[in-house]
Structure 1
């Protein structure tokens, strides 16, 4: 039971971290129809800007300033780059954002080097809040949980309960009508892209001290973010939350329980071959759950695309 609780907490932290990163990408896709390959790179920029600012102004100012800087850069990218590419279709958008991701990675290595930088959590949260069976749960992890919940609640409130959110959603479906009513649709899209990249930067500042701040951090989480939004349903904010939690718990439990595939197959009535040494399936029977854990989210994505292409949790809307 104690191990179960520890895994539930660790999986919750992992899942909510994925949600913080995927929320901005979901917002951009749902409002603009742009699948931004450079989204994880803005997450990396947030971590590095947060590290640099924390050296002079502390972690808390970094948490405020870094997303603002990255959000401004994202708005500039949309205004002077993506907006010009948008008229040429989705393929041009994908190529543009892929090239932008490579450019950001090279820029990070140029200014900060190829080694990991010592981005540390704030001293105010550098203690164990409580422990379960001797496993300490840091206060910083609990802080991450509350930040992710606040982001979800804030986005859901703005998009569904405020005039700004209604204008944003209307601009997606009926841009000419919204423009005829006096609203600046290109400005709305620029702000949405800026807010989406700022949310990625928040995730970077939060995750940098825990997962490490290094040039490969965008690549490490970039693919799993796309898996999350596909499983949850492209453009669905609540789907992104549910899929993030599901993937977080799947990977955490798979890494914690060293159960062999042979044990699982034997439990469902599949007998192990008698002559394992000469059997072509000997490597297959020796596989453990912890070994296949990293590929389980991708297997889930493939199955989702086959049996439910719109996502597991999408029902239309947020």
Structure 2
């Protein structure tokens, strides 16, 4: 039992921090531009594939630096030559643009790398066990992923709260006209934030690619969870996204690890299983089977009882 708690907590925090790397960029983009970028998870996928390809040509460490920069530049170009032109037609047009962009990126990835998963491996320098507990080993690369995610969170927090650039970005989030009157190029700030958010997503892709499966459907798999994090934490709230990421990461990880059904629980009190039929099926459903549904149930509940999210200031 203790082994389950320790390893599930480690995996849950790791998954939550990866979600935060993605959600932080999406949250900043929404706060500044008022648009939910449906293609954000696609930049995460591009980061994984760019990381794989650069690793083939050079090594993982070069990929960790170069891939996010390339994806960040692509994101900045998308904002400058795409979203900025579509913006005059309203938020619906922006949503449709990013929705279509996600499909375009997925098709391009399939054309270049194929539809099957690529062989993106853990770098040899980190391909060993970090520690052994209860005769179970924990990979060093997962600890590396956790450390990178925490380090980026700290740097992001310091940049946004202590630096001049961070102050300009925060001011542009709420008072863009005033920032423009002070002489700052607000459209350029928008482009920089969009590119930076895309780069954060790419970092998550580069470090998650070797540990998870790098395939064209990875954006579609993670994208819905990403929007659950943003809405649950509160639209535009970076601290809310951080709390929601860790909460959802831990809850989903623990839920998947528990192979326990309602029937097993009630059997402890001497309650027998019901008659055959739909009730019998529900009786046998385990927590692990309903685990993937838990985040979406949380989304429904938060929209019913607190539409602004945990720490948001605007309704979703």
Say which is worse superposed, 125-134 or 258-267, in terms of deviation: 258-267
The equivalent residue for 2:69 is 68
For residue 10 of structure 1, what is the aligned residue in structure 2?
11
Unaligned runs of 5+ in 2: none
**TM superposition score normalised by structure 1:** 0.94
Q: Work out the CA distance in 1 between the residues paired with 2:260 and 2:128.
A: 33
> Corresponding residue for 1:78?
79
Tell me the SS of whatever aligns to 1:293. helix
Q: What is the alpha-carbon distance in structure 2 between the residues aligned to residue 194 and residue 167 of structure 1?
A: 16
Partner of 2:281: 283
CA RMSD of aligned residues (A): 1.7
- Structure 1 match to 2:308: 310
Q: 1:1-318 to 2 correspondence within 5 Å?
A: 1-264=2-265, 271-272=271-272, 275-277=274-276, 279-314=277-312
How far apart are the structure 2 equivalents of 1:43 and 1:282?
A: 41
| 3-state SS of 1:131 partner | strand
Residues in 2 aligned to 1:229 and 1:27: alpha-carbon distance in whole angstroms: 10
The offset of 1:253, in angstroms, is 1.1
Moved beyond 3 Å, runs of 4+: 263-267, 269-273, 313-316
Cα distance between partner residues in 2 of 1:30 and 1:270? 53
* TM-score (structure 2 length as normaliser): 0.94
Residues 165-218 of structure 1 show CA distances to partners (whole Å, capped at 9, x for unaligned) of 111122222222211211111101000000000000000001110111111110
Q: Tell me: CA distance 1:264–1:315, structure 2 relative to 1, closer, same or farther (3 Å).
A: farther
Residues 180 and 313 of structure 1, relative CA distance in 2, 3 Å threshold: closer
Q: For 1:47-77, what per-residue CA distance to the aligned partner results, in whole angstroms no more than 9, with x for missing partners?
A: 1111111111100000000000000000000
Conserved 8 A contact 1:15-1:248: yes
Q: Distance in 1 between matches of 2:71 and 2:284?
A: 46
In 2, Cα distance between equivalents of 1:135 and 1:147 = 23
3-state DSSP of counterpart to 2:69: helix
- Residue deviations 1:292-311, cap 9 Å, x none? 01100110111111111111
Deviates more, 1:71-80 or 1:303-312: 303-312
Alignment partners' CA distance in 1, 2:286 and 2:11: 21
CA distance 1:34–1:315, shift in 2 (3 Å) = closer
Distance 2:313 2:7 in 1: 32
**Is residue 242–residue 313 contact of structure 1 (8 Å, CA) maintained in 2?**
no
CA distance in 1, matches of 2:139, 2:183: 50
Q: Supply the distance in 1 between the matched residues of 2:50 and 2:215 (Cα, whole angstroms).
A: 12
Secondary structure in structure 1 of the residue aligned to 2:210:
helix
Native 8 Å contact 2:35 2:91 kept in 1? yes
